[in-house]
Amino acid sequence: MYKRPQLLIVLLAFLHSATLLAQVNVNIEINGLDDKLATNVRLFLSMQQQKSNPLLSESRLRRLYQKAPQEIRNALQPFGYYRPVIESALTQTSPNDWQATYTINPGPPLLIAQFEFTLSKDLLADPEFQNMMQSLPLKKGGIFNHVQYERIKSRLVEMAAERGYFKARFIEHRVEIDLDAYTARVYLNYDGGSRYHFGEVRLKQDVLEPEFLRRYIPFKSGSPYSLYQLIDLQHALNDSDYFQSVEVSPGQPQDQLEVPVNVALTPRKRYRYSLGIGYGTDTGARAKFGWEMPRVNRRGHRFATEARVSEIGYTLSAQYRVPVLNPRTDQMIYSAGIINEKTNVSDSTIKTIGAALNRNHDNWRESLSLNYQREEYVIATDQGISTLLIPGVNWSRTWGRNFLFTLDGLRFDFGLRGATKKIISDTNFFQATGGIKAINPLGSSNRIIARGQLGSTWTDDFHQLPSSVRFFAGGSQSVRGYAYQSLGPVDASGKVIGGKYLMVGSIELEHRFNNKWGLAVFYDGGNAIDNINDKLERGAGFGLRWQSPVGPVRIDVASALSRPDHPWRLHISIGPDL
Over residues 129-140, the mean pLDDT reads 92
According to the model, what pLDDT value does residue 555 have?
Answer: 94
Judged by average pLDDT, the poorest of 9-23, 53-67, 166-180, 535-549 is 9-23
DSSP notation for 84-149: -EEEEEEEEEETTEEEEEEEEE--SBPEEEEEEEEE-HHHHTSHHHHHHHHT-S--TTSB--HHHH
DSSP state of 238: H
Instruction: Flag whether pLDDT at 187 surpasses 70.
Output: yes
Q: State the pLDDT confidence band at 22, using cuts at 50, 70 and 90.
A: low
pLDDT 10s digits, 78-126: 999 999 999 999 999 888 889 999 999 999 999 999 999 999 999 999 9
pLDDT 10s digits, 510-554: 999 988 899 999 999 999 999 988 999 999 999 999 988 777 899
Q: State the pLDDT confidence band at 17, using cuts at 50, 70 and 90.
A: very low
pLDDT 10s digits, 383-438: 899 999 999 999 999 998 777 778 889 999 999 999 999 999 999 999 999 999 99
According to the model, what pLDDT value does residue 401 have?
Answer: 79
**Dihedral sign (CA 209, 214, 204, 260):** positive
CB 33 within 8 A of CB 84: no
Distance CA 457, CA 419 (A): 11
According to the model, what pLDDT value does residue 497 have?
Answer: 93
- Count Cβ atoms below 10 Å from residue 506 Cβ, excluding itself: 20
Over residues 300-325, the mean pLDDT reads 95
Count of helix runs (H) and strand runs (E) in the chain: 9, 25
Query: Structural domains in the chain?
Result: 21-105 (3.10.20.310), 111-191 (3.10.20.310), 197-267 (3.10.20.310), 272-574 (2.40.160.50)
Amino acid at 104: I
According to the model, what pLDDT value does residue 380 have?
Answer: 87
Q: Give SS3 for 58.
A: helix
Alpha-carbon separation of residue 286 from 309, 345, 569 (angstroms): 6, 20, 20
* Mean pLDDT over each residue of the chain, to the nearest integer: 91
According to the model, what pLDDT value does residue 10 have?
Answer: 44
